[in-house]
Structure 1
């Protein structure tokens, strides 16, 4: 071990040409070990799933356990779980109960034969990956391209994965990605599933960057594509400009974005449930912030219920009013003041108060924005807990499923509760001897409640 440290320290101290030649054999060996670790990670992820490892940290997901216990990001944990499923999961597409009931005896026999062959192909692909120590980067490239493979192809996904693993032994990551992509394009059936595009429809939005924007990826089916193209056709020079005689210096892409944003702006209220209110983009500002919003630094950003931070200019562009709603927070706990209700569903005003106080999910370390979360009764509604402002909090869908309403410590599952000393909402582990844990994440620190406690 000391020799390894010496080799690494020598190169770090002096990355010279001579040091490169001397260190190269060690670097190649180290890379092989890292590649093998990718296979180890996949196996560990699958074993964590089979061991129901989420219970170790009081949750239901093995993904959460990997992220917490190994101190890695959830996105990295997700990749490992996906790799584990690819290596050790069911390699054949799963049919619904309805599809299974419609099978003829001949179709059932053919399917079972195909499933058995897929298992053989999966085992062979895993053997190649292990013997040739295929890197995580190459495995992820293969998996990404194979996700685009349609059903009922001449080669199954398991067979194509085996072939791609063989190619991975000699091709670079970029070349392997192209090889797999071309293979998928060629073997996808010409007579496609008429609903193939509908099944592939998707929209994903990345995290907000330093400029305040984010990348979005969109896959449209035929209907969505036709509608969007029709609407985008209106985005000609001068479209949406207040002065039609003014020269339009926007690019085509910028004009199309402006038209798309206008569509979203107009449709925003119509697409949301009535109890969510019309003003569904909520901005968290203090009274001082509101009074000085025009004088604030132009690029200063304020948090919203969507998880997106907005500058004063962007807030004004949304058409927000100066004093639509206000919430007074307790200076010690940061919790909103009492607002009693008898119905189970939290009122709009209670939701506004919770947003003002909490901003994000109150489970420790979570930064899920308020708009994507659910209202949770701290003392369960079924156990007699009222829908009063002091008995509700907001939790993301993922963490809501890990809350033990019975509070009996079963499976090491804890629950959300109110700290009797500070009045803060936090997570009480299943073992009540352990202290409560609070969300002190960077996102939670921007909440009104956190600001009030300062």
Structure 2
């Protein structure tokens, strides 16, 4: 009786929270804030608890090999698809699960184990035991105090910068950071953890530390057509770039070097950098990538309607970046013309056969014109990042003909069952016998094929031909 009454009380609490949420959403007044605040605090505690639930669910999904449910190998894909969350969010939950349920001590290599003395083995096992205890204590603090996902991710991010062989293990420092998280704000916790990592990292630095950190990441294109990029340079790259940027003085790259240069210093440096990229792009001509490695997709209708579409209309490219006519001209494009004719029903290129395994330049151009992005459903990976896939496996006698190839991203390529036997609930790319369109056939062939109907795929030449 008491359990049932307790359950009824919990349901009443949830109903009351929902009622106050609806009231605040309908009228976010000062009075509503005061009335809702106690319930908002309770809701936040529940939200923090969900961070631990998300980590546990991610770990259980990994152990259940949940990717097989949707015909893929990764449980991250399964979480994203089944919970309707982004892959980046699914990845964050998985990393949080590793912190909670993974091995807190780094795994020694087989070579290290072979050289290990009995004393060293005993010391290692004792350290692993201690680290497991520290991990359990950190997890207890996170559970009992409801440490938010934001704080947990902050701790994990800062601890990734911890070097090996420090005086304080990662597990021990994570426990201390969790204790601090109970009383510090997210910003203050970040500073506390970062300072702690800096202090205990060995003073003898890795001479290749900067080389290992080298990175370049490019964000999504924004409404203005540009994107932010993040770059970390090692000493060599830094010296080269600084040397090249030294040329970006007022007047550099202007037709009249004596004219007034109204560009800011960052703008001059960017123009110098873009000029370097443009020169390198003209000099590097990979054998199979074509003369100009940036391909632009325009239909015949687009060409005839350039004026009506206006100068701000953007056209998709093989890089995933959309360009206006002016930007295409600034690239120096249209020096070489290729035209691909697409079937109006399937949107597939017309016949172009080859007997070699590797797709020719012309077949790649035809696939780009037809497909633009990965053809696996839900994927918007641009053509330039993808691989050419034989719909009927090359090893199974599938020819490298335009009718038997498509483009899919490396991730989805690894999830394709070339044997087509339904093993592990893995499906395969195929051609719809009715429409001629390329799509994904689930392992259960009684289920209909699934096609890529993303916004990116809808801009492909094939999609335009079909409509």
Q: Distance in 2 between matches of 1:144 and 1:272?
A: 39
Equivalent in the alignment of 2:170: 157
Q: Contact conserved, 1:360 with 1:394, CA < 8 A, in 2?
A: yes
Instruction: Map residues 143-222 of structure 1 onto 2, 5 A cutoff.
Output: 143-222=156-235
SS in 2 for 1:274: coil
Relative to the length of structure 2, the TM-score reads: 0.93
Q: Contact conserved, 1:294 with 1:312, CA < 8 A, in 2?
A: no
The change in CA–CA distance for 1:417 and 1:141 in structure 2 (over 3 A counts) is same
Match of 1:433 among 446, 460, 465: 446
Moved more, 29-38 or 273-282: 273-282
Equivalent in the alignment of 1:287: 300
Match of 1:329 among 342, 367, 373: 342
Moved more, 86-95 or 412-421: 86-95
Moved more, 404-413 or 147-156: 147-156
The change in CA–CA distance for 1:97 and 1:309 in structure 2 (over 3 A counts) is farther
Equivalent in the alignment of 2:277: 264
1:396 aligns with 2:433: no
Instruction: Map residues 36-435 of structure 1 onto 2, 5 A cutoff.
Output: 36-101=49-114, 103=116, 106-268=119-281, 273-291=286-304, 293=306, 296-321=309-334, 324-435=337-448
Q: Contact conserved, 1:416 with 1:427, CA < 8 A, in 2?
A: yes
SS in 1 for 2:344: coil
SS in 2 for 1:155: coil
Gaps of 5+ in 1: none
Deviation at 1:13, TM superposition (A): 2.5
The change in CA–CA distance for 1:108 and 1:313 in structure 2 (over 3 A counts) is farther
Deviation at 1:9, TM superposition (A): 2.0
The change in CA–CA distance for 1:109 and 1:255 in structure 2 (over 3 A counts) is farther
Q: Distance in 1 between matches of 2:92 and 2:370?
A: 34
Q: Distance in 2 between matches of 1:244 and 1:96?
A: 60
SS in 2 for 1:241: coil
Q: Distance in 1 between matches of 2:94 and 2:422?
A: 27
Deviation at 1:285, TM superposition (A): 0.7
Q: Contact conserved, 1:150 with 1:196, CA < 8 A, in 2?
A: no
Moved more, 283-292 or 168-177: 283-292
Deviation string 1:272-296 (CA, Å, 9 cap, x unpaired) is 6421122111010112433554674
Q: Contact conserved, 1:379 with 1:385, CA < 8 A, in 2?
A: yes
Q: Distance in 2 between matches of 1:91 and 1:241?
A: 57
Deviation at 1:322, TM superposition (A): 5.8
Deviation string 1:146-181 (CA, Å, 9 cap, x unpaired) is 122222222222221111111100001111111111
SS in 2 for 1:435: coil
Gaps of 5+ in 2: 1-13
SS in 1 for 2:60: helix
The change in CA–CA distance for 1:199 and 1:22 in structure 2 (over 3 A counts) is same
The change in CA–CA distance for 1:245 and 1:61 in structure 2 (over 3 A counts) is same
Q: Distance in 2 between matches of 1:448 and 1:202?
A: 34
Equivalent in the alignment of 2:24: 11
Q: Distance in 1 between matches of 2:303 and 2:336?
A: 9
Q: Distance in 2 between matches of 1:255 and 1:237?
A: 7
Deviation at 1:408, TM superposition (A): 0.6
Deviation string 1:349-371 (CA, Å, 9 cap, x unpaired) is 10000000000000001000000
The change in CA–CA distance for 1:308 and 1:100 in structure 2 (over 3 A counts) is farther
Q: Contact conserved, 2:131 with 2:171, CA < 8 A, in 1?
A: yes
SS in 1 for 2:440: strand
SS in 1 for 2:288: helix
Moved more, 295-304 or 90-99: 90-99
Q: Contact conserved, 1:42 with 1:84, CA < 8 A, in 2?
A: yes
Relative to the length of structure 1, the TM-score reads: 0.96
Alignment: residue pair count: 454
Deviation string 1:92-128 (CA, Å, 9 cap, x unpaired) is 2334444544555554444333333222221111111
Equivalent in the alignment of 2:6: none
